[in-house]
């Protein structure tokens, strides 16, 4: 599947790279993505994988599907808050892997081993 050249809508995406720390790569246009992230991820806590729904939003976390690790050897997690229409059909971690991950997979491949965190243009040049 070919990745999107423009940023997908309805996604807050937090992850880290090989040498850059955990950060929000997509914010779904939310001014304070951390507050939304903390609220919806609360039931999942620190579990390495999980899924939950809160109203019209879904939280889904899974380890990097290609097994990529950071410089310290830790498995890289991908945390998504999926809102609105984008959340329809995301009812499990597996659904997140099938429906959400393809939206960002190519973008992440381009940036995960960069020396520093990516810019929006690095992720979605279109």
DSSP for 66-102?
A: T--B-TTSPBPEEEEEEEGGGGTT--SHHHIIIIIHH
The 10 Å Cβ neighbour count of residue 74 is 10
**pLDDT tens-digit readout, 23-58:** 999 999 999 999 999 999 999 999 999 999 999 999
**pLDDT tens-digit readout, 56-111:** 999 999 999 999 999 999 999 999 999 999 999 999 999 999 999 999 999 999 99
Query: Residue 101's closest CA among 115, 24, 109, 45?
Result: 109
- pLDDT at residue 10 greater than cutoff 70: yes
Pick from 12-16, 97-101, 120-124: least confident:
120-124
- Between the alpha carbon of residue 11 and those of residues 30, 73, 107, the distances in Å are 10, 27, 14
**How are beta strands 77-83 and 57-63 bridged, if at all?**
antiparallel
> What is the pLDDT confidence band of residue 2, given thresholds at 50, 70 and 90?
very low
Q: What pLDDT score was predicted for residue 125?
A: 87
Q: What pLDDT score was predicted for residue 121?
A: 85
């Amino acid at each position: 599947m070919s990745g999107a050249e423009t940023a997908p809508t309805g996604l807050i995406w937090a992850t880290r790279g090989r040498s850059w720390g955990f950060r929000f790569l997509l914010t779904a246009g939310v001014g304070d993505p951390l507050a939304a992230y903390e609220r919806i991820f609360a039931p999942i806590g620190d579990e390495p994988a999980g899924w939950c729904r809160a109203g019209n939003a879904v939280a889904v976390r899974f380890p990097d599907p290609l097994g990529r690790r950071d410089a310290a050897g830790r498995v890289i997690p991908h945390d998504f808050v999926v809102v609105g229409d984008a959340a329809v059909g995301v009812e499990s971690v597996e659904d997140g892997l099938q429906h959400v991950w393809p939206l960002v997979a190519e973008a992440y491949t381009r940036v995960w081993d960069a020396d520093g965190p990516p810019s929006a243009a690095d992720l979605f040049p279109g």
